[in-house]
Amino acid sequence: MCWAVPAVVVEIDKENNIAIVDFGGVRQEVLVGVEDVKPGDVVLVHAGLIISKVDMEALEEYKKLIEEIEKALNEVSEGQQHQQY
């Protein structure tokens, strides 16, 4: 399974097809893999590559999915701890 991480585009170097993105306070240089990316866009980054632009509605859905997965993993982990002798 692959995970993409949401980030905000801070600046674009169109000549080299590179963007600086912000992952909630951590800035990273990534390759631009989609067209028409501009500063302020919310994007999904996987393995150092922008793979998609997303709107705020899609971002909220993505966050909910991550929260549900995290909750399920915590429940499984807690269940395994109770099964130990």
Exposed, middle or buried, 12 (CB in 10 Å: 0-12/13-18/19+)? middle
Kindly provide the b/e burial profile for residues 23-32, where b requires at least 16 CB atoms within 10 angstroms of the residue's own CB: eeeeeeebeb
* Model confidence, pTM: 0.71
Q: For residue 46, is it left (φ>0), alpha (ψ between -120 and 50) or beta?
A: beta
Helix ranges, the chain (H):
56-83
The pLDDT tens digits for 27-67 are: 999 999 999 999 999 999 999 999 999 988 887 887 888 88
Tokens of 26: 């951590």
- pLDDT band for position 82 (cuts 50, 70, 90): low
